[in-house]
Amino acid sequence: VRHPVVVTVVCLCDGVKFGQLCNGNPTNSRRTSDRWGQGHYGARRGNREHKGLDIKCSDGSAVYAPFDVTLNGRAIPYGDPNKAAIDNGINLRGKGLCFKLFYVSPDRTSGSVRKGQRIGTMLPMQSVYPGITSHVHVQMCDRSNPTRYF
């Protein structure tokens, strides 16, 4: 008699919550709606969907590690010279998650950082998108919805 094999996959990331990302926003308040659109995952961007979550952050603010992370190089959101002022970010891994933070000038792009340590500076979003709610864009490496981690 053969018995079916049942496999249970448990993600190490279950129950993970992001700590404070940006100076001045201790609760990780999200960008809601402004003249440029909305900041939730799945928001419409013309003919495409927004594949991240926008966390409010004032231009020039310090950006922090949300938990113990490994820095895995630069992340470039656009590759567009017209958006060069904000075309920077960083790849991170920690707590079983792989994610990117866009619109951040990283202090460095490799090594390990502890929760709450400064990892970079929010770039001048207002210079590219005047009137937008300035924010750090959080995007999972697999482009899945990061909202449950906030």
Question: According to the model, what pLDDT value does residue 15 have?
Answer: 82
Burial (CB count within 10 angstroms: exposed 0-12, middle 13-18, buried 19+), residue 55: buried
**Are residues 50 and 69 in contact, defined by beta-carbon separation less than 8 angstroms?**
no
Q: Which residue has the tokens 């999200």?
A: 30
Residue 139 identity:
Q
Residue 127 main-chain phi, psi, to 5 deg? -70, -20
pLDDT, position 12: 58
How far, CA to CA in Å, does 23 sit from each of 20, 60, 76, 83? 8, 10, 22, 24
Verdict on whether the full-model pTM lies above 0.85: yes
pLDDT of residue 146: 96
Question: Which parts of the chain sit beneath pLDDT 50?
Answer: none
**The predicted structure's pLDDT at residue 9:** 57
Please report the domains of the chain, with CATH numbers, ordered by start residue.
33-149 (2.70.70.10)
Strands (E), 60-129: 62-64, 69-74, 89-94, 97-102, 104-106, 110-113, 118-122
In sequence order, what are the residues at sequence separation of 6 or more whose Cβ sits closer than 8 angstroms to the Cβ of residue 84?
Answer: none
**pLDDT tens figures, 9-42:** 555 566 889 999 999 999 999 999 999 999 999 9
